[in-house]
Structure 1
Amino acid sequence: MPQTDPKTVKAELKKGDLKNLYYIFGKNIPEVEKLTKQIIKAAVGDNEDFALNKLDGRYLDTSELYDMIQMMPMMSEYNCILINDYNCEKPRENMAGLRAEDLNKKLVEVLKDIPEQTVVIFNVTGFEISVKTDYKTGKSIIKDKNKKLSDLAAKVGELVECPIKSENELAKEIAASVSARGALISLDRARELAEMCQSDTLTIKNEIDKLCSYVGSGEITSEVLQNLVHRQSNVTFFKLADAVAAFNKRSAFEALDELMQDKENRVAVLANITGSFIDMYRAACARQRGKQVMDVKEDFAYVWEFKVKNAFRDSSRMSIRRLRECIKILRDTNITLNSGGGDEKTILEQTVTKMLMTKN
C-alpha cells in the first residue's frame, strides 16, 4: 500500500484489518507512540506479557528476529514484535567492522517472509529521518537509507507518517478538549494556543490542563494565554545543552539569542535549560551504573523517550563532575534572577560563558 496516515490505520484496525508489517515515523512523536500502542492492542489484546517482544533497534540481531517472527502466538491471535529506532543509516550502536548496507540487506530478507500469525512494527521516536516534501500529495518522502525499509513496509504492509497537525486542525481539537472540561475557548484563541506551543500536541495537552484548572467554567481569553502559557521557541533547549557539551561557543550563543527573543519568559528559559542539564546528569549517572534508556525513562517518569536518548547522547561528552558544575552555575543564576539583580539577558549570557569554561 502507498504511504498512509494514522486516521486510515485506526479505521482499518476497527474493521479488524491488521497488516503483518508497519513502519511508523513522523515529527508527531506522541502520535507515533499512540498509534503503536493501538496496533499492539489490536494484535495481542491484554496479553502483551506473552505475545509481545520489544527490541531495541540499535542492537537488533536479525537471526534472533527471524526466530521471533516464525514463533507461534501464545494466548493471543497474533505474535507481535516491536522494533524501536532501527536506523538504516547506522544499524548498530557499534559499527566497527560492519557495513550498514550488509545489515540492512539481511533485515529486508528476514522481513520478506513474515507468516500470517506475526505482526512486526517498526517505529521511530528517538532520531530524525531525512525527508523531502512531495508537494503534490503533501506527504514526506524518506530520502536517506531508511527509504528501503519504509518502501518494503509500503509494499507488503503499512507505511505511516505522523506529521505535526496544522494550527487549524489543532484549534478544533483544542476547542473540543476545553469544552469537554467545562470551559470555553474561541477558535481564534485555540489557534493562538497552538501557535504558542509550536503545534506540539503533548505541550498543548499540558497547557489545556493548566488553563482549565485556572478558569474553571470560565473562558480562556488571550490575556489568560499571555499570562499563563510559555511561548515555545523554534530552537529547542537541548540544542543549547548540546552546544555547551561540545564546547561550541558559536552554536551556544546562537541558540541563546533565539531563546532570548521571548522577553516575557526569560526565567522560564532558564528553567528549561536547567532541565536539559538535569536530564544529562541523570543519563550520565545511569550510564556509570550500567543502566539503559528505558531504566531512566521509567524511574523518572519521562513521557518522551527521545528526550532520554538525547540526554544519553549529549552527556557522553561531559564528565559527571562537569555536569555538576554546570548545574551549580545554573542554580546560582536562578538565585541571581530571582533577586532581581541585573538584566536577564546579560546574566544568562554570563551563565553560558561560565558553563563553556568548565572542563571535563
Structure 2
Amino acid sequence: MEQPLRHGVYYYYSTEEYLVRSYAAKTLALLAKQEDDAEVTRVEGPAPSIEEAVAAAGTISFFGTKRIVELPMLEPSAMNEADVGALCDLMQSLENAVLVMSTVFKDDKAKLSKKAKQLIGAAEKAGLTAELVKPGPQDAKRFAVEKARELGAVLSPGAASELVERCGTDLFALESELSKLAAVADYGEITPELIAQMGTQSIEADVFEMVRLVTARNKTRAMAKLSQLLELQNEPIAIAAALSGSFVDMYRVKCGAAAHRNYAAVHKDFSYRGSDYRLRKSGETASHYSRAQLEHILSVLLGLDAALKSSAADGTVLLQTALCEVMQIGERR
C-alpha cells in the first residue's frame, strides 16, 4: 500500500470477508498513525446512518488533523436510493475527512447492482477503490507461510499444502489453525506430520486423501487410511457419506466439463458454499475416471449407504468391501 495515504476515500470490496476486513484495518492503522493518532468514528453498516457519517466527516478536529470515518460492512442492497445518493455526494465534498468503506458481496452478481455500481463509481472519482480477488490455492499457501512467519513460526516443506488441503482457501480458518499449530510447535517448525496429528480433524479432507490414493492405485495405503479413519472413532456412515460426497463432486465436474462448464460454474450451479477449491481438486481427480466408471462407483456407494443403514453386518467390513470394489472399478481404464 502506497504511503503516505493521500486519498479522501478508500473503498474495499470483495466476496472474501477476510480480505476486506484486513485491508480496511491496515488502512485505518496507517491513517491513524499518519494523522497523529486521530480518532476514528465508526458508523456501522449494513445501512449506516448517513446523517451520522456527514456529521462525523464535517466535524473540525481541535488538533488540525483529518477526521477518519469508517463505514464497515456496507450493503448497497440494504440502503435506500436516497442514502446511496447522499453517501456519493459526501464522497465528492470531503474537505477535512477520510472515509474508509468496505463491502462483502455475497456473490459476483451483487456488485453489478445499480446501487453497488453507483457507490463504486463515486468512490473511484473521490479516491481509491480496490476489488480484492478471492484467493486461490497458491494465494492461500502464500498467506499461510506469511501468517506463520508473523506468529514467529515456520512452515516446513509441504506443510502449507497440507493446511490448504484441510482448510481450503478460507483465510479465517487458515489463520485460526495456524495460531493453534504455532503454539503447539512452541513457535518453531510446523510440519505436515504435526498438522495431520494436531490439525483440525476434517473427515472430508482425510477421505479425499484416501480417494487420491485409490486413484493412484495405491491399495495398501488407501486401506491403511480407511483403518486410520475408523481408529479415530469416525462412524462408518460418516465415512461413507464423505466418500460418496467426493465421488458426487467428481461426477458433477465431469458432467459439467461435458457441457463446457468449468468447476467454478459447477460450484455456482449446484449452490456450493465456501471456496470452489474443493471442486477444483475434484476436477483434477475426476480426469482419471470415465463418466461410466463414476456412475458405477456411485451405484456401489449407494448400495453401501443402504447396507450401513439397514443391515446388521459389520460396518467396517462393509466399508472395506465397498472400497475394494471402487478400486477394482477404477482399474478398468
State the TM-score, normalized to the length of structure 2: 0.52
Q: Does 1:150 align with 2:116?
A: no
Q: Does 1:62 align with 2:50?
A: yes
Unaligned runs of 5+ in 1: 1-9, 92-99, 133-140, 235-261, 271-341, 344-360
How far off is 1:111 after superposition?
2.4
CA distance in 1, matches of 2:106, 2:36: 28
Q: Does 1:102 align with 2:82?
A: yes
Match of 1:119 among 94, 98, 101: 98
**What residue in structure 2 maps to residue 72 of structure 1?**
60
How far off is 1:148 after superposition?
0.9
**What residue in structure 2 maps to residue 227 of structure 1?**
197
**What residue in structure 2 maps to residue 40 of structure 1?**
28
Change (3 A) 1:194 1:68: same
Secondary structure of the equivalent of 1:165? Answer: coil
**What residue in structure 2 maps to residue 289 of structure 1?**
none
Conserved 8 A contact 2:167-2:174: yes
Match of 1:185 among 144, 153, 156: 156
How far off is 1:121 after superposition?
1.4
Change (3 A) 1:195 1:26: farther
Conserved 8 A contact 1:43-1:77: no
CA distance in 2, matches of 1:109, 1:146: 15
Change (3 A) 1:184 1:109: closer
CA distance in 2, matches of 1:26, 1:59: 17
**Over alpha carbons, which structure has the higher Rg?**
2
Higher mean C-alpha deviation, range 209-218 or range 190-199:
209-218
CA distance in 1, matches of 2:5, 2:35: 19
Identity of aligned residues (%): 16
Q: How large is the RMSD of aligned CA atoms in angstroms?
A: 3.7
Secondary structure of the equivalent of 2:142? Answer: helix
How far off is 1:118 after superposition?
0.9
**What residue in structure 1 maps to residue 131 of structure 2?**
161
Conserved 8 A contact 2:91-2:126: no
How far off is 1:85 after superposition?
2.6
Change (3 A) 1:178 1:39: closer
Change (3 A) 1:67 1:228: same
Change (3 A) 1:59 1:176: closer
CA distance in 2, matches of 1:128, 1:148: 15
- Per-residue CA shift, 1:298-351, capped at 9, x if unaligned? xxxxxxxxxxxxxxxxxxxxxxxxxxxxxxxxxxxxxxxxxxxx99xxxxxxxx
Match of 1:128 among 78, 84, 105: 105
Q: After superposition, where does 1:1-360 map in structure 2 within 5 Å?
A: 10=1, 12=2, 14=3, 16-45=4-33, 51-58=39-46, 60-75=48-63, 77-91=65-79, 100-115=80-95, 117-124=96-103, 128-132=105-109, 142-144=111-113, 145-178=115-148, 181-186=152-157, 188-216=158-186, 220-230=190-200
CA distance in 1, matches of 2:13, 2:23: 10
Q: Which amino acid aligns with 1:110?
A: L
Conserved 8 A contact 1:51-1:74: no
Secondary structure of the equivalent of 2:175? Answer: helix
- Per-residue CA shift, 1:25-82, capped at 9, x if unaligned? 2233233223222222333339899632111234533334333322222436211111
Q: How many residues align?
A: 211
CA distance in 2, matches of 1:177, 1:38: 15
Query: More helix per residue: 1 or 2?
Result: 2
**What residue in structure 2 maps to residue 94 of structure 1?**
none
Secondary structure of the equivalent of 2:133? Answer: coil
Secondary structure of the equivalent of 1:57? Answer: coil
CA distance in 2, matches of 1:122, 1:69: 13
CA distance in 1, matches of 2:128, 2:192: 41
How far off is 1:207 after superposition?
1.7
Q: Which amino acid aligns with 1:206?
A: S
Secondary structure of the equivalent of 1:56? Answer: coil
Conserved 8 A contact 2:77-2:116: yes
Q: Which amino acid aligns with 1:131?
A: D
How far off is 1:151 after superposition?
1.5
CA distance in 1, matches of 2:14, 2:184: 33
